[in-house]
Structure 1
Amino acid sequence: MTSLEPVLDKDGVRLTIEDAVATVTLANPAKRNAQSPALWRALTEAGRSLPGSVRVVVLRGEGKSFSAGLDRQAFTPEGFDGEPSFLDLARESDQDLDAAIAEYQDGFVWLRRPDLVSIAAVQGHAIGAGFQLALACDLRVVASDVQFAMRETSLGLVPDLTGTHPLVGLVGYARALEICATGRFVQAEEAERTGLANLVVPADELDAAVSDLAGALLAAPRDALIETKALLQGAAGRTFEAQRAAERAAQARRLRDLAGLAD
């Protein structure tokens, strides 16, 4: 991808912007882009730093792995420098503990913004928090060497970085439960077959495939894509009749806009 002057470059996250495409790069390949609270805050900051001209966000990881998940330093008594350890967090009040986890989740939820389409370009390992970060995106293009795994349960934890809802939506309850409970690897063929991956390509073609997809998304009028994304995101929570009504309302807005009659 084009190398541009970063808008943000801190705590293992680098943000670059080229026209309507923003690229968020996990930039700590020496640690296989392991994640930490500081990285999650940097992801939140990246989302807040996007100019209104951005329509597509590409999320990628430097090196051989997209992200090997949570940095194991989190499980040590000392935790990360300047951060409460997990043991410290466990001693907090219910309200404070909930607020801390919600702050971590903020680094993931902005990737679902209605005015953006986000694409995860995933190679190698995407484990735990790395898997959930890929699931936070609207679309996933993966290299043929990809290995997804949800390992939180084996650590005595649960996936809490917004990954459970999209996982169930993509593969169904039974398969999602089996993936999370066993912590097994999901490789490229299964990922594509079950809907976790939109496209599988050789590793050396990953960036090109993502660039092609971004270009195709940008070819559609922005407002039409925003309305379509909103319809699809809300479909599972609506009845058939409610979805019909939502379609009618969205189309009315589009027709009035195209006719120059929008408010």
Structure 2
Amino acid sequence: MTETLLDKDGVRLTVEGDTATVTLAVPAKRNAQSPAMWRMLTEAGRVLPGTVRVVVLRAEGPSFSAGLDRQAFTPEGFDGEPSFLDLARGTDDEVDAVIGAYQAAFTWWRRSDVLTIAAVQGHAVGAGFQLALACDLRVCADDVQFAMRETSLGLVPDLAGTKPLVGLVGYARALEICATGRFVHAAEAERTGLANLVVPAAELDGAVADLAAALLAAPRDAVVETKALLAGAAARSHEEQQTAERAAQTRRLRDLAGLAD
């Protein structure tokens, strides 16, 4: 049985068994993002049941997300929200706190107790690109178009997307993608590691379901430990990584032997 836990401000969270689905649900605006949407994305991570092992991020309509709603740059901004022009007039600490709150919508996807998959079709631009990058894995339709347009607008990508982008494609390619704002299409995304898999658009949902099922096949604790090992590998030396592997394996062996604390 599918249970809806959240459906507000363009974000819908449903749970079925050990799989949750977060859907961007503003197709008429190509799922353009706003601070209200970011708050609901953060809330989705907060209310996610502990039984969930896999989270799928998807979007209604032909585009995953066209990025930040340009209304943010108007003097009026969004109803009930400070405009970005007002934000610029704040102190450094005030601006830092606001952006930090926005980033929370993009950071919980990497936590160790769940595996996250972005199902990406059509445009994934700016904040949309960074939201796809927030997930562990990306399955893309063959019409996907990634672009980091912030630099073209005189800004920088600030929604936690720069580190995973560099990790996936390397510094030089990440710099070129961000500085030019160009589109990265499906073939390049798959070749460079941005996409784990590219499929025809009609097969996107099925491919994501197949991947989710494969991820659920292994015992949860083993997957959690493995994700933590891989996520921390880049920051560790070889010796530190080997130490982490030994500690993780010790925990797994004791658990399998019924000797865990």
Q: TM-score if structure 1 supplies the norm length?
A: 0.98
Pick one of 41, 44, 48 that aligns with 2:42.
44
2: CA distance, partners of 1:56 / 1:112: 11
Name 1:87's counterpart in structure 2: 85
Name 1:102's counterpart in structure 2: 100
Per-residue Cα deviation, 1:97-136 (whole angstroms, up to 9, x for no partner)? 1000000000110111100000000000000000000000
Pick one of 143, 148, 151 that aligns with 2:149.
151
The answer to whether the 8 A contact 2:3-2:16 is kept is: no
1: CA distance, partners of 2:9 / 2:45: 15
Name 2:169's counterpart in structure 1: 171
What amino acid is aligned across from residue 13 of structure 1 in structure 2?
V
* Mapping 1:220-239, distance limit 5 Å: 220-239=218-237
* Mapping 1:233-252, distance limit 5 Å: 233-252=231-250
Per-residue Cα deviation, 1:19-54 (whole angstroms, up to 9, x for no partner)? 000000000000000000000000000111111100
**C-alpha deviation, 1:138, in angstroms:** 0.1
What amino acid is aligned across from residue 111 of structure 1 in structure 2?
W
2: CA distance, partners of 1:41 / 1:213: 28
Pick one of 162, 171, 180 that aligns with 1:182.
180
**C-alpha deviation, 1:222, in angstroms:** 0.2
Name 1:20's counterpart in structure 2: 18
**C-alpha deviation, 1:5, in angstroms:** 4.3
Q: Does residue 1:205 correspond to 2:203, yes or no?
A: yes
Q: Does residue 1:63 correspond to 2:22, yes or no?
A: no
Name 1:34's counterpart in structure 2: 32
The answer to whether the 8 A contact 2:54-2:216 is kept is: yes
**C-alpha deviation, 1:6, in angstroms:** 1.9
Measured on the aligned residues, the alpha-carbon RMSD in Å equals 0.8
Residue 59 of structure 1 aligns to a residue whose secondary structure is: strand
Name 1:218's counterpart in structure 2: 216
* Higher alpha-carbon deviation: 88-97 or 195-204: 88-97
Segments of 5+ residues of structure 1 without an aligned counterpart are none
2: CA distance, partners of 1:6 / 1:249: 39
Residue 48 of structure 2 aligns to a residue whose secondary structure is: coil
What amino acid is aligned across from residue 235 of structure 1 in structure 2?
A
Residue 22 of structure 2 aligns to a residue whose secondary structure is: strand
**C-alpha deviation, 1:248, in angstroms:** 0.4
Name 2:5's counterpart in structure 1: 7
Segments of 5+ residues of structure 2 without an aligned counterpart are none
Residue 162 of structure 1 aligns to a residue whose secondary structure is: coil
Name 1:111's counterpart in structure 2: 109
Pick one of 121, 124, 129 that aligns with 2:122.
124
Residue 246 of structure 1 aligns to a residue whose secondary structure is: helix
1: CA distance, partners of 2:257 / 2:97: 46
Residue 21 of structure 2 aligns to a residue whose secondary structure is: strand
2: CA distance, partners of 1:197 / 1:248: 31
User: How many aligned residue pairs are there?
Assistant: 261
**C-alpha deviation, 1:8, in angstroms:** 0.2
2: CA distance, partners of 1:111 / 1:48: 11
**C-alpha deviation, 1:96, in angstroms:** 1.1
Residue 4 of structure 2 aligns to a residue whose secondary structure is: coil
* Structure 1 consecutive aligned stretches of length 4 or more whose deviation exceeds 6 Å: none
2: CA distance, partners of 1:212 / 1:49: 25
